[in-house]
Amino acid sequence: MALADRRSAFAFAASAFMLPLMPTAHATSEMLIDDFTGPDGVSRIGTRWEGFTDRVMGGRSNGRAAPAVIAGRPCLRLTGKVDTRGGGFVQMALDLARDGACDATRFAGIVFDVYGNGETYNAHLRTTDVRWYDQSYRASFVAPAAWTTVRLPWAEFQPANIDRQLRRDGLMRIGLLGWMRDFDVDLAIGRLAFY
């Protein structure tokens, strides 16, 4: 076989070997987690949003998460004030599976629509690898005062206080937070999905 033919055969074999690793149309389609149109406050996957602050650990922040309609869209709105004396967070969170963990390996990340007050917020993921309250996988985003779509690919989520990379087959919970600086929280989420 001529050298050019061997190179061509190798290139074809290499590209065929790589095909399973390339994204497919199925891998990039969205899976809706919640759009806040349900009448009973339960997400589309059957779990319920919770709002809480660092007061569960003795902190001084205050806030609440409540259903709202902003600019004509149903949403969940987190309001309050982060106080870093003795704590430092206000959070709304959702379990990503009714029992155990969710496998999101076929998706590229998380997408959500937000409306806020121009501040920077955090998204935290908990997985089956997380054992302590201060462990999570964290990414930041800005929430402007207009409905905006935020896409966070998995690579944006950095491990905090844990020495393992994010396992997408063991996702348990997502939290959206006002985090670790003194400021007024006003953050609404109108849709959440895997993409």
- Write the DSSP string, 49-103: -EEEEGGGGT---EEEEEEEEETTEEEEEEEEEE--TT--EEEEEEESSSSS-B-
Domain 27-194 sits in CATH 3.40.50.280? no
Give pTM, 2 decimals.
Answer: 0.84
pLDDT tier at 39 (50, 70, 90 boundaries)? confident
Does residue 18 have a pLDDT over 80?
Answer: no
Q: What is the mean pLDDT of the chain?
A: 88
176 near 185, Cβ under 8 Å? no
**Residue pLDDT, tens place only, 65-124:** 999 999 999 999 999 999 999 999 999 999 999 998 999 999 999 999 999 999 999 999
Least confident of 10-19, 50-59, 79-88, 132-141: 10-19
pLDDT, residue 40, reads 83
